[in-house]
A and B are shown apart, each in its own frame.
Chain A
């Protein structure tokens, strides 16, 4: 009775592949820090330059995020719609296409097959495959929802979020002759993903998980969902402007971008408040404390990494100095980990035990993984932050030249490498724990109410 529909099982392979890619991403990150920390021989730099390692690091990140979102959607959709998926076969076919494209892309990068556009380096033919996979995914989700007898706001929010996500990807595909137009639309993909579509998907999935584990009334959860996504999109869409200060766009972006982006933490604050309230007003006892660590950790980390760091970094007078420095790296790591890596891990810890028929799982090892990764990434963010403040101060305030300013990076990236090793250990523990999750010998407390369903 732990999973209600057989077709939910397709999500398991999405989760497993995502976890493997997570480890690959972190290893590549460690290699990047070595590039900063030490002087590498010219011959090595010639065959495996920083740029290649970076495109693998970032593309693998995007790939495992999307695998987590897609798997998560496939997991929650059947119970939310009260029926099996429209087609598990399409779900598997889409997974194969997506992973084949991703693997080919990574191998291609090693041989210099790239579009050379940061984060969107995947060459055109492979982009075609990604689009096919995305279309299959959206069709499958849409058909499941359309053919379902139960209708809910959450279903449509989820479908809206993933469609928005897919449509935005298209703006990154053409070749733009003008660099400023190129970057104008590049942010339609990157920004409107992480501060638009992905937030909508996150809010929907979190709403579903909270509803299922707390037994809080669906009406209350959906009301919060509307207000949060409404605020996310209100602040996030015009907030794209905080990337347009220095690209050769009209002057008013300083104001529009600055003000809307300063408001962007609001919906995240709301998300923290509502998570907290639902935990307090829960009607069912806590079965798996670790899943709750992740839910609460996600809310708080999301607020700090994306909200607070992002807020400071995007105020125009500050951004003039910090734009395109290691401060961006600090923000990027804390925000991606805090908002989206933790979201994916929340999904995995919610779904993977259930997929194995486990209600209450042994969580000792997983707790180690949780604390090592969350604290490790926070320290890493601070190290990048210090390196960034030093860099901007030396290079842009004292004006002593790039190479002198970057010599100081060597020390801080040796520290980052050390912290990164600890983080990798945490990730390996977490992944191992998820792969080998076992039932707990302590009996689970009985639920008081049946988890809120549609009807």
Chain B
């Protein structure tokens, strides 16, 4: 090979690749509004992104798979946790992770900032990113089903999607608030109290760490029946 050929390889290689890449960058900007729903990218969402940066969330949590690998991915966090759970975790990590083997720092995020952060995460959850991360897709599907037709859902499915952000059932879900079977065997509440508890925990048990749940009384009733059924199963077994 002559020096001239070598130089030619350098320039042809570099320039073709750069040309392809620049064209793709142009196309990326053309398609981004569709893929990320920029029409929903409001001031509130942008404010939320600034909150996300301000507290350096991204050096523990990944988002779109990038960042620190120390804490769960936040791409679909809105669907996995829901607004109230995100708010409780962000404002009271010490309570939420009291029994956890891994802690989250108390950051002092204000109420306004929390709402902005939730808006940001809600918008991020809608980015058309080919259903990544794989483990959260079930939460997204379930959230959409729950919104549209709660009565048609498989009960386990429904309960896990609604409660799985903090409770476990048969080793699924996140163990922040305890296992549902254990809880079912501990609580003395009747059906209506349990429904009230879910919608506003403080009204039944003041001082409890569980945040109010954004569920319709109809969905809460299905969940209450499910939890109470766990109790009777165990008693029968005994």
Chain A positions within 8 Å of B, measured between CB atoms, are: 35-36, 39-42, 45-46, 49-52, 54-55, 112, 114-118, 121, 153, 175, 177-181, 183-184, 186, 219, 222-224, 226-227, 229-231, 233-238, 240-241, 244-253, 256, 260, 320-321, 323-326, 328-329, 395-396, 399-404, 406-407, 410
Contacts and interface: CB of A to CB of B under 8 A. Distances in A.
Interface residues of B, number: 76
Contacts of B59: 50-52, 54-55, 116, 118, 121
Contact of A247 (B14, B101, B106, B129): B129
Contacts of A42: 94, 103, 106
B14 to A, nearest CB: 4
B32 A219 contact: no
Contact of B32 (A41, A114, A178, A402): A178
B157 to A, nearest CB: 13
10 contacts: A36-B70, A40-B103, A55-B59, A114-B53, A222-B6, A227-B10, A230-B10, A250-B27, A250-B35, A326-B69
Contacts of B60: 49-51, 54
Contacts of A325: 69
Nearest to B52: A116
Contacts of B134: 320-321, 396
A324 B65 contact: yes
Contacts of A406: 101-102
Contacts of B104: 45
Contacts of B128: 248
B174 A116 contact: no
B189 interface: no
A233 B130 contact: no
Contacts of A121: 56, 59
A231 B134 CA distance: 34
B24 to A, nearest CB: 7
B3 interface: yes
Interface in B99-155: 100-106, 124, 127-130, 132-135, 138
A400 B6 CA distance: 53
Contacts, number: 220
A23 to B, nearest CB: 22
A116 B55 contact: yes
Contacts of B58: 51, 116-118
B115 to A, nearest CB: 18
Given A52-B56, A112-B56, A401 B13 contact: no
Contacts of B200: none
Among B35, B65, B172, max chain A CB count under 10 A is at B65
Given A115-B53, A179-B127, A248-B128, A256 B103 contact: no
A181 B36 CA distance: 10
A39 B127 contact: no
B66 A118 contact: yes
B64 A235 contact: no
Contact of A226 (B9, B66, B106): B9
Contacts of B64: 179-180, 183, 246-248, 324
Interface stretch (B15-23, B180-188, B202-210, B214-222): B15-23
A325 B100 CA distance: 20
Contacts of B192: none
A323 B135 contact: no
A237 B68 contact: no
B21 A116 contact: no
A116 B27 contact: no
B3 A403 contact: no
B62 A116 contact: no
Nearest to A228: B10
Given A179-B49, A179-B127, A323 B132 contact: yes
A259 to B, nearest CB: 11
Given A51-B56, A181-B32, A328-B69, A238 B14 contact: no
A323 B73 CA distance: 11
A98 to B, nearest CB: 23
B1 interface: yes
Given A116-B52, A320-B132, 4 more contacts: A246-B133, A250-B27, A328-B69, A399-B135
A233 B13 contact: yes
